[in-house]
Amino acid sequence: MSQTGRHLIVLGGTRHQRLLAVAAHEAAALDAAPRERRDTGRATQPARITFPATHLPFIRPGVATLPSLDGPCLLRVDDLDRAFPNNQLTGTRLVLTQSTYLMQKWIDALGPTGRIIASANREALLLGAPEALEGRGPWAQFEVVQLENEPCASVPAGQGKAEDQAGESWKKPAGPKAGSSLEGDLAAAFASRSGEERLEICQRLFSQLPNSALAAVAFASAAREQQDLSSARTALDAAGLLAPDWEAVHYEDGKFWLGCEELDRARVAFERAAELMPTFSAAYVNLGATLGELGRPEDAMRAFRHALAGDPRNFTLLNNIGVVSRELGRLDESEAALSKVVQIAPDFVFGHYNLGHTRLLKGNERGALEAYEEGQRRDPEKNRRQGCRLAVVRFANGDPAGAERDLWHYADGAPPDEREDMLLEAYEVGQALVQARPELAAHRAFLDRIVASLGGPRDQRT
């Protein structure tokens, strides 16, 4: 996260200390904000808005009743970590609760003169929005004020003030009550660790509020999490009719179709989401990935490049760019992107493996070996296929003994079908290396043993 920026977040200390620090920064910001003169000729005070953090994901800027945002405006949010509940199954998390989308949406709404000043519990923020601490996407625009380390972070459960304990900001809000707000009910639903409870709350709200696009998109997410695809589809169709200009609806629609392997429908949905919110990096990432699956790598690259402009530290995006660039034969671009991946996220092992693959294609066998070895060193699962590829890279570096050791170690630990597939790949790549570099023919015994293990030359097998 940037140390300077237009927006500000206070971390560390106790909750009380964070609130005091935020109040001081808020007062200074309001005092220093430019005054806009209207037609009346009178100076105007900057608008100040604040919401409970748990409600923030469910308030749509531009649709909710807000102060006029045509002048300077300050949004204050205490306990911002509570705005990003992360209790849904992987791949089903409602986009409204994802920090890069939510913060970008508010930054866009506030405009160039607006500011966000917030506080958060660092440990809880790490659980719900790790990208915040990585300075990714909109978080790069935040200045960080770091107070002393949170004294209660290591206090045993039940000791100290509950409001200051790490993770305590994830405590489930009180359940829905008569007269409670839609935002409050949804906050309770998505804070719940029970998918069944979340679905029950969201289904009730969808039934009670048939004209609410928010209730519809939330119910669709909860239903999809529970594999109720029929209900999810019904809710998404309703949301699309109620809010055709809301990018979140189209993004959730794209995720639905992607899960159904309806790639062209997913493409249309992600394109619409990106069109409606050009700063929505994740929409472009998913659009690019879908275009790649549809065999349109040039279009995929354009989408990825657009996404990268708004989220240059997104290592999975850089990895995609590296892989697609390699498929297009742009090996220098591929190596540059993948080198950034391993720099930003050294524990992302496939960054190292992909970098090794690209370097091998470039003829940099030594660099390929270094990348594959680093990937294997960091890989807790010791991926078998990548281990076999490391063996081939050792062969390319004139190390047949190391190649033999790694190949049979990984291949013999695989199920029969996987073993055969990995050995065939090793043989084909090895053959291509021998043809390109005749000096490797001195080590043909490595390839001959693969052929023998497979039961004879590939072109003679039935």
| Chain-centre distance for alpha carbon 106 | 18
- Per-residue pLDDT of 147-167, as tens digits, reads 986 544 333 323 333 333 333
Q: What is the mean pLDDT of the chain?
A: 88
Task: Give the mean model confidence (pLDDT) for residues 262-284.
Answer: 97
DSSP state of 43: B
Nearest-5° Cα angle at 109, 103 to 111: 105
Asked if residue 458 has pLDDT above 60, the reply is no
Dist. CA 139–CA 202, nearest whole Å: 30
Measure Cα distances from 7 to 17, 54, 117 in Å: 19, 20, 6
Task: Domain ranges for the chain, please list them.
Answer: 1-154
Least Cα distance to 165 among 116, 209, 136, 124 occurs for 124
Residues 6+ apart with CB under 8 A from 335: 322, 355, 358, 359, 362
Asked if residue 88 has pLDDT above 90, the reply is yes
The count of other CB atoms within 10 Å of the CB of residue 257 is 20
Asked if residue 107 has pLDDT above 50, the reply is yes
Dist. CA 195–CA 219, nearest whole Å: 11
Share of the chain above pLDDT 90, in %: 78
Least Cα distance to 200 among 179, 175, 234 occurs for 175
Give all strands (DSSP E) within 282-437, no chain letters.
none
Task: Give the mean model confidence (pLDDT) for residues 306-323.
Answer: 95
Dist. CA 20–CA 343, nearest whole Å: 37
Helix axes 297-310, 315-327, angle to 10 degrees: 150
Question: What confidence category does residue 67 fall into, taking pLDDT thresholds of 50, 70 and 90?
Answer: low
**CATH code reported for the domain at 1-154:** 3.40.50
Dist. CA 458–CA 450, nearest whole Å: 10
Q: Give the tokens for residue 7.
A: 């927006």
- Per-residue pLDDT of 188-208, as tens digits, reads 999 999 999 999 999 999 999
Least Cα distance to 386 among 407, 364, 417 occurs for 407
Q: Which helix or strand (DSSP H or E) is residue 7 part of? A: strand 7-11
Dist. CA 127–CA 59, nearest whole Å: 22
What is residue 145's three-state secondary structure?
strand
Task: Give the mean model confidence (pLDDT) for residues 324-331.
Answer: 95
Residue identified by tokens 């392997």 is 261
Instruction: State the pLDDT at residue 158.
Output: 30
Share of the chain above pLDDT 70, in %: 85
Instruction: State the pLDDT at residue 24.
Output: 92
Least Cα distance to 338 among 355, 353, 324 occurs for 355
> Please, are residues 12 and 112 in contact by the beta-carbon 8 Å criterion?
no
> Please, are residues 369 and 356 in contact by the beta-carbon 8 Å criterion?
yes
Asked if residue 171 has pLDDT above 70, the reply is no
Question: What confidence category does residue 31 fall into, taking pLDDT thresholds of 50, 70 and 90?
Answer: confident
